Amino acid sequence: MKNFFLVILLSVCANLVFAKEIKLSDIFQPDKPAGAGVAVSPSHLHYNVEPGGDKTMKITINNDTERSYQFKVNLFDFDMDKTGQPTFLPPGEGEYSLSKYMSIAPSFIEMNPGDKKVFSVNVAIAIDDPSSNKSAWCIIMIEEVVEKTTLTKSKKDAMAFGVTATHAFGVFAYQNPPNVEAHGVEVVDFKAESALNGTKMIQLDAENKGDGTAYCRGYVELVNFKSGTSRKLAVKNFTITPGLRREFKFEIPVDMEPGIYNAIGVVDYGSSKELLTAEMQIKL
């Protein structure tokens, strides 16, 4: 069993794409017609179901290729480290398991060239479960399956085909029941540092001290004290679950004009009342 989940983990880490649309054409290279691919949307599902309630959301797969595919849909729980990398767990074993409340229909999908298929993801929260009033999350894994091309003899010399899973990609699902506080995010560190290759960076650390999952946007803006010119570094979209501290590194462009800068770190965690900010001076 451990080897099975190691294979799944390696496959996921190599193939998950964190974007609004996940393109399988970047993964499945053999026999891929030029300009065509398979795409899935959305890449994240956000639920807000109260205990005793349920909600169904949809995931769409488009096969814009000239070949057929078969997909098996599975569920896994996961933990996340401070850089946002997930560690996958068997369904139902996560401390904040959403998979135990979730059902998929259909769980096996066959697609011909040009097909568009939709499957349903239902979350039904048990009213008498002690965990029903806290945040939960899981990942929906969609794996391509293919028939083996060789026949395998059994002990009785019978002939049989098998099915094996190949590449996988995933859709993250999060549940925030109405009672949780999703606005407990704080900026806990903001500093300048250099990488081993000499690249200058600014690191911003955020921690979720609330009991709800927060969906955030963060960026850093540099303002030159002498000229007053400003430059915004790349915006990062991230999810931060309860109790998690995450660190984000913003690379400073090499073409920045030398001088003293006021660096402003900003985190938008969805509050209508405030943005989180941190400031410091740096010399470039």
- Do both 37 and 110 map to the same domain? yes
- Do both 34 and 84 map to the same domain? yes
Query: DSSP per residue over 83-121, as a string?
Result: TS-EEEE-TT-STTBSGGGEEEE-SEEEE-TT-EEEEEE
Check residue 183 and give its pLDDT.
72
Cβ pair 84, 70 in contact under 8 A: no
- Do both 250 and 146 map to the same domain? no
Check residue 82 and give its pLDDT.
76
Check residue 139 and give its pLDDT.
95
Residue carrying the six token digits 């945040």 = 135
Task: Over range 92-98, report the average pLDDT.
Answer: 92
- CATH code, domain with 213: 2.60.40.10
- Do both 215 and 135 map to the same domain? no
- Do both 160 and 211 map to the same domain? no
Instruction: Examine the pLDDT at 14 and tell me if it is beyond 50.
Output: no
Instruction: Examine the pLDDT at 101 and tell me if it is beyond 80.
Output: yes
Task: Over range 221-242, report the average pLDDT.
Answer: 92
Task: Over range 25-45, report the average pLDDT.
Answer: 63
Q: Indicate the SS3 state at residue 6.
A: helix
Most confident of 10-14, 83-87, 151-155, 214-218: 214-218
Q: 59 lies in a domain?
A: yes
Share of the chain above pLDDT 70, in %: 79
- Do both 11 and 123 map to the same domain? yes
- Do both 96 and 194 map to the same domain? no
* Least confident window among 14-28, 104-118, 175-189: 14-28
Residue carrying the six token digits 């806990």 = 188
Check residue 131 and give its pLDDT.
86
Query: DSSP per residue over 8-40, as a string?
Result: HHHHHHHH---SSSEEGGGT--TTPPTT-EEEE
* CB atoms inside a 10 Å sphere around CB 45: 21
The one-character DSSP state at 156 is: T
The residue among 25 and 159 whose pLDDT is bigger is 159
Q: 61 lies in a domain?
A: yes
Q: Indicate the SS3 state at residue 65.
A: coil
Task: Over range 34-60, report the average pLDDT.
Answer: 88
Residue 171 token pair? 């859709």
* Least confident window among 24-33, 117-126, 252-261: 24-33
The residue among 146 and 248 whose pLDDT is bigger is 248
Which residue, 175, 198, 227, sits at the end of a domain? Answer: 175
User: Sorting pLDDT into bands at 50, 70 and 90, what band is 20?
Assistant: very low
Domains in the chain, number: 2
Cα 56 to Cα 71, 173, 219: the distances in Å are 20, 12, 33
User: Sorting pLDDT into bands at 50, 70 and 90, what band is 74?
Assistant: very high
Which residue, 175, 207, 228, sits at the end of a domain? Answer: 175
- Do both 18 and 105 map to the same domain? yes
- Do both 34 and 52 map to the same domain? yes
Instruction: Examine the pLDDT at 163 and tell me if it is beyond 90.
Output: no
Check residue 2 and give its pLDDT.
40
Q: 170 lies in a domain?
A: yes
Q: 180 lies in a domain?
A: no
Cβ pair 241, 138 in contact under 8 A: no
Check residue 31 and give its pLDDT.
43
CA distance 241 to 136: 9
Which residue, 148, 175, 202, sits at the end of a domain? Answer: 175
CA distance 102 to 42: 17
Task: Over range 51-75, report the average pLDDT.
Answer: 93
Q: Is 53 buried (19+), middle (13-18) or exposed (0-12) by CB count in 10 A? A: middle
- Do both 160 and 259 map to the same domain? no
* Least confident window among 121-130, 185-194, 270-279: 270-279
- Do both 129 and 16 map to the same domain? yes
Q: 38 lies in a domain?
A: yes
Rounded to 5 degrees, φ, ψ at 254 are -70, -15
The residue among 156 and 124 whose pLDDT is bigger is 124
Containing structural domain, residue 204: 185-283
Q: What is the mean pLDDT of the chain?
A: 82
- Do both 171 and 71 map to the same domain? yes
Task: Over range 182-202, report the average pLDDT.
Answer: 87
Q: 129 lies in a domain?
A: yes
* Least confident window among 1-5, 34-38, 57-61, 93-97: 1-5
